[in-house]
Chains A and B, each alone.
Chain A
């Protein structure tokens, strides 16, 4: 492995996860043969079985009795093909993906405000030139360490970093100003900051008049969020709020970036909207060197949300309930628009409906491990167990794969061609570097094999180049227009920013430079109100639990826990708690503690640290069990679950 230094996002930087990723290619835990009820079988037997069962289930219970669940780590080609497979080969509307747990709140808020959801609507290198960056709920120093290089450059140039986080994370330690917000109150804090911006005459009225609509209503709505009230709700001292607003106002160029900490709430869309309102009031979006952005999570978290593995979506970031979008995509797919299913259930609702009438009875799962990563995971595991058929495609036997009737071994990153779209909206080509182990198929080959058996093999090529060319057509004219991007163009350079509507188009690094992607070209400010967490603390569950990531692990840990160096760095679940709380619970560092919520219990090793608030405990979610605690209360717009805050009790295990 060598570092490639010409890609601006990381400029050759990698953390331990990156440097050790190649170990997984040769891991002894690698799956190399299909498993049918735990028994190694050949591909024909496995796929015949799956296709036969799918047909039987659908014959008895209808097309929607089969569901598909995808992942934000899949390449654009796979994500696209999965959406098409569900709607054309299976004719089911029941498809969603784990990005619902990741990007959906930001996506919903950004689409509403700007008409287009591209995580960073500017090149990532703009960050280094900013005079101030506000990171809301975003711990990049652990989740994406090379990102910190951009922040470091920004600070070396005199810029200031503000971090909003309930924990003193490694990222918060880098900050000039850390606002240590109470879990579940980021929205109130954003409202308070906007109130101060208006009070201090920092609102850019010229910009607001020219490029936005809705400021008057928003100004009225934040009148009731004066800083002293916000302090009482959030725990953030008024003086620090004033300082944050002063820093943002003093900067020529400023950015507001949100991460999962602000987004993974039952009011995540509103929280992101509040930060967008703040950015718009300051006149940042669409101004070169400034802006609002969301820091996208998974490897292909951006592309994964654009091409149709989402319940309500068709390729090109089109809406599945838009007749014009249906007509366009149906034509590319050679089907009647009327035959395309409508919107299906969102991720948690889909998982929660499995095996329970009238929910789906069979599930095909690609690139996800919901037994570990879904909220209220104990319930999700029970639902999976109630299925007539569970089929999982994965590279290792994940916790979810271990429950499957059929496990299909698949290729991974260095073994296949494909594109991914990074956090700044840059489409990158990931090339095959090594041959996959014998007996392992790519997801595209698996889908083709299944489609063959369902009588639609002709519509599902297994070659990623062919699939991408079809994706280009399907996305043509859509919001995320890839029609001008080719594998050859990508191979020749360092990627292209979408939208890219023609082969001679240079791509669009700053889509909001002249106008926003709304019908009238103006951004929308939308008034939003704070409300408490879906589950607040009480006498029985007196502490907040917030979950997050550690540096050594990625997502459900299915990959990283199998890499010895990473396992050694972070070998298991821990519970981070404040010394005051530890003393009260009679817990010493290293003790085993049990955390219980209304939904389940989990155990971990106590880590005593002042990095956490005394009213909150933190657990990383990379291991099975932690998400048995979390609350599946859903955001009414994005259907994002409330991962970031629920009420728990903690005790020492004696």
Chain B
């Protein structure tokens, strides 16, 4: 893959990219954003960079309008007008201020590959160029997608952190904080409303977009996030009785949100209700996006996370469970871990001398391993006999040290243990669903993997350690943020919304903690080996 070589603060960063997007688009997925005020059309002239080496093509008409011949002769260009195909050395002349918000690397892929015209949705009269926003409110991240409602065209995506993390990384800690203190509950709701506003403002300022065009706003999320946003019934989620029962956590009043976000006052705000305490509307949306519960062939859906939500379509009925395996897939709690953002090792392959060769997201400086990098590394250690299937280092070592670029990282036995546990919870969940539905793992014809973890996952590595069923690789679909994709579907189409409601009415819930075979299935799946069929 070609690389963008970036001189910044006297340091050099190397960012690999697939040819196609502009320099601005490539930078937008990293921590090195260039200032911008239009949709990358070349209209604002703000995204100035200097090309210091490599092939950048002839300046466009827009560049000749904004940049004097003298500047052009010095190599000054507009980042949105350069479509690099090979290595390119640049320097950002007009950097954007640091921000929580960036574009998701797979946004264009996710939306351009989809054919989703608006259907069955009425537009409010008198609004020129009406638009809609779909939001996936996750425990760690908040993702937004903006669409033109007239032609169903995708306009922009943003991803930022959920600021509630200050109250706890996991949902239980946040729920407990909300139950203990009404002030904390109010603050957590306010923080998310503010963050959505900031994400929208980032789109408005960087893309030159008028937020009053937004007339639809649709949001999905896990049940805890929805309860914390609406400030309703958070306490019920701490009671196991409600995990497989519906929980009312829809907002009673949203006009203050509309005002705070500056979207059109007539905008319809819709929060999609969750299925139950442990199954959010994010899962329902994911099933809609993947068309999981359709057709006669058995299909499995896994959205990996701290609580992995798993659904099985038997061909006749839909079974759903949730497996609380801890945050290893997000690489949280892993001593050499890093979130799946710029600087994360997402791919580990074997070099010619048995050394570990690392690929890093959006930078050449490794901060640590993200979930998919962790799965890869463990698979490589198993395949070279350096790790046993019980998760011990073959020579009895306490850890494995390797180079990721210029960074030295160490994977400890404890790190391997955390991944084994997370994997075992998911494996036990799959077993419980298959047992309940009377479907063998070998009968599955689709295995759909959602979430950021799935986006970068190497299927072969995941199968080698038993994280995914050992089926032909073509059966496995890595689908990225399916919750957001499904939320877009529901926002754009009343038919998709009806499909979601049908799923809600038909899903059969399994409480994994009450599944009689849990401990045996858990133990079996702690082993680092291909998944066995019972």
Q: Is B one of A's binding partners?
A: no
Mark B residues whose CB is within 8 Å of A: none
